[in-house]
Structure 1
Amino acid sequence: MAPTSVGFWGVPTSTLDWCEENYVVTSYIAEFWNTVSNLAFIIPPFLGMIQAIQDKLEIRFIIAYFSLLAVGIGSWFFHMTLLYEMQLFDELPMIWGSCIFLYCLIEAYSPPKSHNYKLGSALVLYSMLVTLVYLEVKSPVFFQACYGMLVVLLAGRGLYLLM
């Protein structure tokens, strides 16, 4: 069967369409290889979450694994369908998950079972604001800027912890 740009999920509605040709391998998966590669973001975090629960680690670590799992599942559905709603299911967990990881890195040397409510509240507020603005603006550049800022903060904090 000849490749088509419209498959099982209909015409793509996402604001982004990656470099992979759509519906080449199967009419049920828009970007086959981008979809399948997300197993690397689904299986290891799932296993890590189970191990963290078994090891009775703090809830922040379990939530961190869960956030990676959410990104993997969201990305799976986005690349499978190329629908705007699934794009949100991919991108918004990246914002929320990065805030969770930033919390974990900032609190890396805090006493066990302690909670930094000010930091947690600030990161939740940031995630909520980005979510609400992105739902209204629908600009990939806005998302990329907000996510990029979190990545820079994560990298900076990680480097600081290594020194």
Structure 2
Amino acid sequence: MAPALPDREGFWGEPTSTLDWCEENYVVTPYIAEFWNTISNVIMIIPPTVCAYQFWKKGLELRHILSGISLLAVGVGSWFFHMTLLYEMQLLDELPMIYCSCVFVYTLNHHSRKPDDWSKSMILYLISFSVSVTITYLYCKNPVFHQTCYAFLVFYLIYEAYRSILNHPEIIPWAALSLGTYATGFLVWNIDNAFCQSLRHARSEVFHSAAAPVTQLHAWWHIFTGTGTYLHILVSAYARTLHLKRQCDIKMLGGVIPYLDVGNKV
């Protein structure tokens, strides 16, 4: 069934990316290919920026600050990818997902180490993994390869989260919320891929134009996974700060935005 709102031509020209998502192209504005998929990346830009700044002000270790900056990089890359649908911008989105996850792996893996205990071997391994994925992906250009490598890192992070929970049960509620939110995003991402034609038909024939954005499930993937990842950054820093015997707790700013409240060393 052909959608009533077909893809249109826009400012950035014909898409060159190996992926073109379910959102109709250049429908809202000629300057943004996938409008809703683009602006939904705000969730991966503003919160981690504020988080990284707060970590810096509170004197947390560099690895936690880099975690926030890494998610920011993913959000910016994803913004440009969905805005342009150009292959170069696709790489700016997908490759930072690998690098960001490697930062998360290192940070969570080292939650119970001494402050100055840097594992050079693990840093080397993660850098080598990132370089290998980058070179291979530039050669094969198969999105499934990238998705498989990313999934491997996500599952490894779940394992590291389990280890941190054993040491610090206090983080369980927030770790569960992080995982559940991320898993919800993964679910809607799969629904968007599997039922794209039905969703396009619903947007054009069933939903009013004001309600149609609700069916942009890839944008919801950004919102859910961006939120889940932001919570992961907080949980990782929470576990580490507890290990360092500093007073800390995850609190809600305005009853809406979670943040890590860090006190002085005990």
TM-score when normalising by structure 1: 0.96
Q: Distance in 1 between matches of 2:160 and 2:66?
A: 19
| 2:67 matched residue in structure 1 | 64
Give the corresponding residue for 1:40: 43
Q: Which has the larger radius of gyration?
A: 2
| Alignment gaps of 5+ in structure 1 | none
The corresponding residue for 2:133 is: 130
User: Which residue, out of 104, 120, 124, partners 1:121?
Assistant: 124
Instruction: Specify which of 46, 54, 57 is matched with residue 57 of structure 2.
Output: 54
Distance 1:33 1:155 in 2: 29
- Structure number having the greater strand percentage: 2
Match of 2:170 in 1: none
Shift of 1:4: 4.5
Matched, 1:99 2:106: no
| Gaps in structure 2 of 5+ consecutive residues | 167-266
Structure-2 separation of matches of 1:31 and 1:115: 42
Measure the CA separation in 2 of the matches of 1:81 and 1:4: 13
The aligned residue for residue 78 of structure 1 is 81
Query: Does 1:8 find its partner at 2:11?
Result: yes
* Deviation at residue 162 of structure 1 after TM alignment: 1.6
Q: Which protein, 1 or 2, shows the higher relative CO under an 8 Å CA cutoff with sep ≥ 6?
A: 2
* Equivalent residue for 2:114, pick from 111, 115, 118: 111
Count of residue pairs brought into register by the alignment: 162
Give distance in 2, aligned partners of 1:58 and 1:41. Answer: 21
Say yes or no: does 1:146 pair with 2:149.
yes
Shift of 1:160: 2.7
TM-superposed deviation, 1:5: 2.7
Give 1:56 shift: 1.5
2:90 corresponds to: 87
Taking only aligned residues, the RMSD between alpha carbons, in angstroms, comes to 1.2
| C-alpha contact 1:3 1:23 (8 A) present in aligned 2 | no
Is this contact kept in 2: 1:6–1:12, CA < 8 A?
no
In 1, Cα distance between equivalents of 2:159 and 2:117: 23
Q: Give the C-alpha shift of residue 3 in structure 1.
A: 6.2
